[in-house]
Every structure is written in C-alpha cells, then in structure tokens.
C-alpha cells in the first residue's frame, strides 16, 4: 500500500535546469543550440523555459550536441513528469477528504477490506485503491452516475448512504473474482433447486458450503459479505462478466430470513436476466417493484408457499409437534413456517423461537 511519503518527493527539477547549465559550460547560446538541434526555435525555447518536455527524439538530438547520453535526458524528464503527477495527485487526495469521511472506514478495516489507519490522507488513498479509481470523481461516475453501462453497476444516486452500499458491493466484485465456476446453465440451476431446498429443510452445519457447491455446478457464484453500518442490504444479485452472482450478508442472522433471501435472489436470476440488479433492503432508482414482487413470490413458492400457508392457518391452533409435522410434509424447515406466522402477526414473536436457527457465516470468508 502506497504512502504519502512515497508519493511526494520534496522537489524534482525540470531537466531544462541541467540543460541550461550545460549550455553555459559549453559557451553556447540558446539560439545556437536550437539551430544545431534542427527543431523549431520556439520548441527548444519552450523546453529551456521548462514549459515543454524533452521527448525521446529530442534526447537523441541533445546527445550529439551535449555529449550526454539520451537516456540521461529521458530518465530526468520521466522523474520530473512523475513528480508533477504526484503533486496533482496530492490535490486529488485533498479534494476527496469529505468523500472519504462518508465511508464506514473503521468497519471496512475491521473486515480487512482496507488497511487500518487513522490518517485521513491514507484512508483516501486506500479507498482509491479499494475501488480501483484514481479520484473520487471517478467513483462518482461508476456508482452514482453509472456511466459504465454493464450489468454489474447501477446508479446509487438516490440511495441513502451510497458510500457504504458501494463499499459492500465492491467487496462482492472482489470476492467474485476469486471464485471459478463453469458457464451458467439455467437448466442445471432449475434442476438443482430441489436439492438446495433439501439443504434448507435439513439445515446441516455445513449448509452454506453445500449451497455454494450446488450453485457452483450451475455456474452461479454465491458468497457471504459481512454487512456494513448504514448499508442495510440482505442480499444482492448481479451479473459480473456474464456470470450470475448472489451476494448475501446474513443481515438478520436467522435461517428463515437467510433462505428466503437466497431464493429471492435466485428468482431474479431465473426470471429477470442479466440487466436487472437486485439490492434487497435498499431503495435505489433501478429497483422495479413488480420484479421484486415476482422474486418474493418465487421465494415463497420454494420455502413455504401461499397454499401451504393457508393449510397451516386452517389447522390452528397449532402446537410444536404440528409445526414439525407440517415442515416434514412440505419439505421445508420449521423456521420457515414459524417465521411466516410471525410476519403475519398470527403468532407472537416469542413463540416458536426454538425453531429459528442462528446464522453465523464469519468463518465462510
């Protein structure tokens, strides 16, 4: 990770300083030197004033006249160019200070997404590197204006706390790069959904690894990204480089919410194609209420359908054994049933809590 000290040497002089000293040593006027080079006088004079750069072509010409190797002039000009670029970079960093303050940097560092530091300048440089941008204006074009017209990006301009949301999404991009899967096959994904439902119903200790392995067979990347403060995302679906990606935060840390979110995102992949991006739990301009409702209906059908829900409601009052019995009948987890009843207000939230399993995916990264 670069530091400010590496970026900003105290001073690097334009090679014109050395060139003028050499001409004085040779007793040669600037006009004579210009004539000897064969270049236009205004071009050489601009170099000698430090207003123009010494090109490789000029360096070879200067070699014949000054007897100083061309690589000397080329290297000296390169060092000066870098120095000037670093000075401009310093201004870019200073201009981005308020932007940097908008990110939950401490939490990102806690997750090892960025290096730990208390220095604002270093935070800015680290965020530039994290997002793969040179300025905060470039970040704005990617995440606020969505000028890169690819399926992985959507405008966050009307999103509350877009900086935190973009940081979470960026981590998903970086994680997705580390996962290899075969080409996406919709037919295979559909065939695997019943097996994924079995994993949901049984919820074994390695449920997440099994989920990832099954989805991988269909060319779908599934992974966990810890939630960030001010980024209330449960899950997201995007297509990154023609591969569907399901990014999950396990926000509510309970299995009924986790599995509903997964099937919701799977619904987006199967029904809404490459161009639609889902950010579950976040309001953003690209969200389509109709598509979100369709994804909810898809998730209901695969976890605990409306028809099954009505059958359970008609059987009320219910005891613990009834919930377990219905779960076996519908090949779902009891948490999916009790969670729905909680959501509908038909059962108090204190009842049936023993069916809801705690979700902890911190060891899955």
Nearest to 323 by CA among 313, 337, 310: 337
What the chain holds in terms of domains, given with CATH numbers, is: 4-95 (1.10.260.40), 99-170 (no CATH), 186-303 (no CATH), 306-364 (no CATH)
Q: How far apart are CA 69 and CA 64, in angstroms?
A: 8
Per-residue confidence at 1, pLDDT binned at 50, 70, 90?
very low
pLDDT tens for 194-204 read 999 999 999 99
Q: Which residues are registered as beta bridge partners of 259?
A: none
Q: Cα separations (Å) of 158 from 59, 98, 137, 277, 306? A: 53, 19, 17, 15, 34
Average pLDDT for residues 307-331, to the nearest whole number? 92
DSSP-based three-state secondary structure for 254: strand
pTM, entire model: 0.82
The DSSP result for 13-66, as a single string, is: --THHHHHHHHHHHT--HHHHHHHHTS-HHHHHHHHTTSSPPPHHHHHHHHHHH
Per-residue confidence at 149, pLDDT binned at 50, 70, 90?
low
Q: Cα separations (Å) of 242 from 59, 63, 152, 291, 346? A: 47, 53, 9, 20, 43
The whole-chain average pLDDT of the chain stands at: 90
Based on C-alpha coordinates, what's the Rg of the chain?
30
CA torsion sign for 248, 253, 255, 260 is: negative
The DSSP result for 287-334, as a single string, is: --HHHHHHHHHHHHHHHS-HHHHHHHHHT-S--HHHHHHHHHHHTS-H
Percentage, residues of the chain above pLDDT 70: 95
List all residues 6 or more positions away from 178 whose beta carbon is below 8 Å from its beta carbon. none
Q: Cα separations (Å) of 13 from 75, 76, 80, 275? A: 12, 9, 6, 51
Flag whether pLDDT at 4 surpasses 50.
no
Q: How far apart are CA 197 and CA 323, in angstroms?
A: 18
């Amino acid at each position: 990770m670069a530091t400010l000290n590496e970026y900003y040497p105290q001073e690097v002089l334009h090679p014109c300083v050395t060139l003028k000293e050499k001409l004085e040593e040779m007793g040669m006027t600037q006009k004579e030197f210009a004539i000897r080079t064969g270049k236009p006088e205004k071009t050489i004079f601009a170099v000698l004033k430090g207003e123009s750069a010494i090109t490789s072509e000029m360096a070879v010409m200067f070699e014949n006249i000054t007897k100083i190797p061309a690589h000397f002039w080329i290297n000296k000009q390169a060092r000066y160019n870098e120095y000037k670029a670093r000075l401009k970079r310093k201004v870019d960093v200073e201009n981005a200070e308020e932007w940097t303050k908008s990110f939950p940097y401490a939490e990102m560092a806690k997750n090892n997404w960025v290096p730990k530091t208390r220095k604002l300048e270093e935070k800015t440089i680290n965020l530039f590197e994290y997002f793969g941008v040179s300025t905060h204006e470039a970040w704005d074009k990617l995440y606020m204006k969505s000028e890169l017209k690819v399926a992985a990006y959507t405008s966050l301009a009307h999103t509350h706390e877009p900086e935190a949301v973009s940081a979470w999404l960026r981590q998903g991009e970086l994680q997705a790069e580390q996962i290899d899967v075969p080409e996406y096959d919709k037919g295979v994904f559909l065939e695997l959904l019943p097996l994924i439902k079995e994993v949901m119903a049984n919820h074994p200790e390695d449920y997440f690894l099994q989920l990832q392995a099954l989805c991988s067979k269909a060319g779908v990347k599934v992974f966990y990204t810890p939630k960030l403060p001010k980024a209330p995302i449960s899950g997201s679906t995007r297509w990154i480089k023609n591969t569907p990606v399901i990014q999950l935060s396990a926000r509510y840390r309970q299995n009924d919410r986790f599995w509903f979110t997964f099937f919701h995102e799977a619904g987006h992949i199967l029904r809404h194609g490459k161009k639609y991006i889902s950010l579950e739990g976040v309001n953003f301009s690209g969200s389509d209420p109709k598509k979100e409702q369709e994804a909810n209906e898809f998730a209901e059908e695969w976890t605990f359908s409306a028809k099954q829900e009505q059958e359970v409601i008609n059987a009320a009052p219910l005891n613990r054994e009834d919930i377990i019995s219905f779960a076996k009948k519908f090949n779902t987890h009891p948490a999916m049933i009790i969670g729905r009843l909680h959501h509908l207000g038909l059962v108090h939230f204190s009842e049936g809590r023993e069916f809801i399993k705690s979700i902890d995916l911190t060891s899955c990264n």
